[in-house]
């Protein structure tokens, strides 16, 4: 069985400072991992994905994540936060079965202050 743990339910940063959203996963197989972002009352947008290629993955809007197998982690980072980054972020692991079923973390709400 696969699972995802997002270690912080809420993170607050100042605009222009680095962002770190933490995620640990558990999977019986080589996992595919994703980060999605959701703004209020909107659908989810794919930020980036890891699918067993390069361990450092670059995504949209300046975000990146590093897959660390030894630590079973897939933390999301951004060097400098922008006000528009305020949203809910979901770490997700995929079961590569017949139909890719995603297991979602409980989400981290990112607040960006002036």
Binding site for another protein (CB under 8 A): 32, 34, 36, 41-46, 49, 51, 90, 94, 96-102, 104-107
- Least distance CB 14 / another protein (angstroms): 25
Q: Which is nearer to another protein, 32 or 73 (CB)?
A: 32
How does strand 108-113 pair with strand 23-26? unpaired
- Least distance CB 15 / another protein (angstroms): 25
Q: Which is nearer to another protein, 44 or 86 (CB)?
A: 44
Contacts made by residues 97-106, CB under 8 angstroms, sequence distance 24+ = 100/32, 102/34, 103/2, 103/3, 103/4, 104/4, 105/4, 105/5, 105/6, 105/23, 106/6, 106/9
**CA geometry: angle at 16 spanning 15 and 22, to 5°?**
80
Q: Which is nearer to another protein, 2 or 15 (CB)?
A: 2
- Least distance CB 99 / another protein (angstroms): 5
- Least distance CB 61 / another protein (angstroms): 16
């Amino acid at each position: 069985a696969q699972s995802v743990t997002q270690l912080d339910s809420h993170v607050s940063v100042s605009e222009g400072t680095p962002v770190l959203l933490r995620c640990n996963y558990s999977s019986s197989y080589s996992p595919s991992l994703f980060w999605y972002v959701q703004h209020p009352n909107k659908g989810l947008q794919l930020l980036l994905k890891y699918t067993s290629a390069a361990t450092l993955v670059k995504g949209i809007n300046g975000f990146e994540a590093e897959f660390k197998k030894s630590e079973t982690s897939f933390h999301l980072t951004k060097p400098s936060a922008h006000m528009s980054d305020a949203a809910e972020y979901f770490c997700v692991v995929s079961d590569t079965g017949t139909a890719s079923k995603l297991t979602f973390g409980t989400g981290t709400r990112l607040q960006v202050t002036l």
